[in-house]
Amino acid sequence: MPEILIQKLQRNGWPDNEPATYIHEDLLTYSTGLLDDDNEHTIWEEWRLDGKIVKRGVHVRIKKGVSTDLKIMVG
């Protein structure tokens, strides 16, 4: 049975910050989402325990390069 490293943080609704620990994946609720447009392809993942987030991840792939117009003044 695979385990995943989680951390219970106050900002995610836990009473106290706790050190990272391993927990069986089947005890967690997993959700994922996707954003795909002309500029980026993004996939996010969340793992929850008792309705509270214990791990979150995101993968972003930029499709177009970022360009800027610079005007250099010499004088």
Structure confidence by residue, pLDDT tens digits, 21-53: 888 989 999 999 999 998 899 999 999 988 888
Residue 24 sits at φ, ψ, to 5 deg, of -65, 135
Q: Does the pLDDT of residue 7 top 90, yes or no?
A: no
Predicted TM-score (pTM) of the model is 0.65
Q: Kind and range of the H or E element at 5?
A: strand 3-6
Average pLDDT over the chain, rounded to whole?
84
Q: Kind and range of the H or E element at 36?
A: strand 29-36
pLDDT bin (cut points 50, 70, 90) of residue 18 is: confident
Query: Tell me, what's the pLDDT at 34?
Result: 97
Query: Tell me, what's the pLDDT at 1?
Result: 64
